[in-house]
């Protein structure tokens, strides 16, 4: 069994596509119209184009918006991405105007930072520093 797709709930797919590709550097893997303005819109890491896809899923379900809003209000990241160097990625993203809610911090065997994806989510970047 493998994980091939995961999702992040977004308040606007067009805005999410711009942020996740133009700022974070992911590339679109699938973009299929589903009707009603929704799309099956997935992105992947350019470092692993055949790897796990991230579905930029619209918050269509009535429970989605309150759930995401509660996580955001409590400062809880919706998902996390692994990076080679949290400090360098933090600086790169800040230079692009990304707003961080947590600067890089070492917490035992990991270093993390948390940013606002502009689509209603907090995203954590992480690097494991020791096994």
Output the pLDDT for position 60.
87
Q: Do 28 and 41 touch, CB atoms closer than 8 A? A: yes
What is the rounded distance in angstroms from the CA atom of residue 9 to the CA atom of residue 27? 18
Q: Do 96 and 76 touch, CB atoms closer than 8 A? A: no
Output the pLDDT for position 130.
66
CB atoms under 10 Å from CB of 92, counted, come to: 15
Digit-coded pLDDT (tens) for 90-115: 999 999 999 999 999 999 999 999 99
What is the rounded distance in angstroms from the CA atom of residue 127 to the CA atom of residue 110? 6
What is the rounded distance in angstroms from the CA atom of residue 58 to the CA atom of residue 16? 10
Flag whether pLDDT at 45 surpasses 70: yes
Q: What token pair was written down for 111?
A: 């270093």
24 — pLDDT class (breaks 50, 70, 90): very high
Flag whether pLDDT at 35 surpasses 90: no
Question: In terms of residue numbers, what domain contains 111?
Answer: 5-128
> Of the candidates 127, 97, 100, which has an alpha carbon nearest to the alpha carbon of residue 112?
127
Domain count, the chain: 1
Burial of 75: CB neighbours in 10 Å, binned 0-12, 13-18, 19+: exposed
CATH of the domain at 71: 3.10.180.10
126 — pLDDT class (breaks 50, 70, 90): very high
């Amino acid at each position: 069994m493998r994980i091939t797709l995961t999702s992040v709930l977004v308040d606007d797919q067009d805005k999410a596509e711009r942020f996740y590709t133009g700022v974070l550097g992911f590339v679109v893997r699938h973009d299929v119209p589903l009707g009603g303005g929704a799309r099956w819109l997935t992105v992947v890491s350019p470092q692993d184009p055949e790897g796990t896809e991230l579905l930029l899923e619209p918050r269509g379900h009535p429970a989605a918006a309150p759930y995401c809003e509660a996580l955001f209000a409590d400062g809880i990241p919706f998902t996390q991405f692994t990076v080679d160097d949290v400090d360098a990625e933090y600086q790169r993203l800040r230079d692009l105007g990304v707003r961080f809610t947590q600067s890089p911090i070492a917490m035992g065997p990991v270093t993390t930072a948390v940013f606002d994806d502009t689509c209603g989510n907090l995203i954590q970047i992480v690097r494991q520093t020791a096994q």
